[in-house]
Structure 1
């Protein structure tokens, strides 16, 4: 019974990650096609492309790790390879930084505030986006290198050259949590942007209602679409963080291959997959491209004889 449930969980995880890879790859592909056609990319599309690439790489690394665990190819992919954990930490950190700059971009472009600092940011945000993304890449790379160097030093201290038994330091068991710890700063920035955007929507709706013009204007719809994207990210990311924390506790108690650990993998993988689908649905250009891509498939299915 356990092996059956384990196979079902792994199958669901594969489907979930494949959907996430397809959705993130779709965003990158559409924006690359637009870039080749027009030789320019809007700041919003640039952020979405970087976000899609980082999530795609994150899902690939996660799939490799879970596949190795499922087929018992080793205790953990991190045991024998240094590159996968570096890539995981790098893509995980870059992922949340890109999502943070997306929230800041939405705030600057949509929110209605009259503070001079906000107005300055509003005017310069488009020009700042490439530099913010580049800074995020550099910061994420430095975080991955520093963390892996510290972990490798701890590994060497636990395994002297004359010690025949290989020992794993406790810090390696918390690798996933340690990899997410530097994300606290961008996540706080993300939450601040989301709260300010909600405040801006509340302020705008009060103004609209006092004027008696209704709440169906374009600015209200823009606020609501952005808040859907940001709120869904916050819920999914926090769920993923709690799942990773729970997995670390279970692994520390020698429950590496237990069913709860595998079920929590589904929660972790839902974060980059489900949120990307939401981003596609709220983006008119991506949504139209998605519908156009699915239309021939629907026609083919209708023509298949029953």
Structure 2
């Protein structure tokens, strides 16, 4: 990459990053202010707060990486800082995916109408299960990021162009850590999000068909239940 291409790429990336900072910072601030005023937070809002905060901090880390390269701070040359920043980078990335996964699952559970007693119990105990979801997400993300970052000898600054990275380093010793990290950090959340989103959309379409076919009786208790489920 030429210097002009790198500068152009950095400018485009900065616009996207600051857009992400504004959006996720706004979500995080609103959720914190709501919690401060009410002294209580809904289960889904807890996950939204975790998602917004993790993505906001990820954007901050991207900005830090650009500053590090622009001013040639060489922070990643210090072993302890290199390992710490790599762990934080992976932890934030993995945790945001896990929070997104739980939100998709919970929205489906909240909207769908179940006949199974087990699923009905889960639906009624969402407020009790959310703290365990948050703790499990943090634990899995932290362990996966720690194991990979601790055994990876190069920095994980994704802002560095691939052409500038060291290609002489063998990747085989790190596959045993990269594969589990990918599975628990990316693959599992992605698969569950895809499945839950598919069923969520299917459930919403069913509700919409019920409303459309019973437009004349939209105020009946049954139709009000469908309308409430969608919202």
Deviation (angstroms), 1:45: 1.3
Contact kept? 1:93, 1:180, Cα under 8 Å: no
1:185 alignment partner in structure 2:
188
Aligned length: 206
Unaligned runs of 5+ in 1: 153-166, 226-306
Take 2:149 and 2:5, find their aligned partners in 1: how far apart are those partners? 34
Take 1:22 and 1:42, find their aligned partners in 2: how far apart are those partners? 23
TM-score by length of 1: 0.58
2:60 alignment partner in structure 1:
60
Take 1:59 and 1:16, find their aligned partners in 2: how far apart are those partners? 9
How well do the aligned residues superpose, as a CA RMSD in angstroms?
A: 3.2
1:112 alignment partner in structure 2:
113
Contact kept? 2:83, 2:150, Cα under 8 Å: no
Take 1:34 and 1:212, find their aligned partners in 2: how far apart are those partners? 36
Deviation (angstroms), 1:32: 1.0
Take 2:172 and 2:68, find their aligned partners in 1: how far apart are those partners? 21
Task: Write the deviation string for residues 33-91 of structure 1: whole angstroms up to 9, x where unpaired.
Answer: 111111101112111110011111222223333444456655x9478511111001111
TM-score by length of 2: 0.75
Alignment of 1:1-306 (within 5 A): 2-69=2-69, 77=76, 80=79, 81-151=82-152, 168-170=169-171, 180-182=182-184, 183-213=186-216, 219=226, 223=230
Task: Write the deviation string for residues 8-55 of structure 1: whole angstroms up to 9, x where unpaired.
Answer: 221121121111112111111111111111110111211111001111
**Against the structure 1 CA distance between its residues 7 and 220, is the aligned structure 2 distance closer, same or farther, given a 3 Å change threshold?**
farther
**Against the structure 1 CA distance between its residues 115 and 199, is the aligned structure 2 distance closer, same or farther, given a 3 Å change threshold?**
farther
Take 1:171 and 1:16, find their aligned partners in 2: how far apart are those partners? 33
For 1:113, what is the secondary structure of its paired residue?
coil
Contact kept? 1:151, 1:171, Cα under 8 Å: no
Contact kept? 1:97, 1:136, Cα under 8 Å: yes
Contact kept? 2:43, 2:127, Cα under 8 Å: yes
Contact kept? 1:58, 1:91, Cα under 8 Å: yes
Structure 1 range deviating more: 103-112 or 143-152: 143-152
2:163 alignment partner in structure 1:
none
Take 2:195 and 2:7, find their aligned partners in 1: how far apart are those partners? 41
**Against the structure 1 CA distance between its residues 130 and 77, is the aligned structure 2 distance closer, same or farther, given a 3 Å change threshold?**
same
**Against the structure 1 CA distance between its residues 220 and 9, is the aligned structure 2 distance closer, same or farther, given a 3 Å change threshold?**
farther
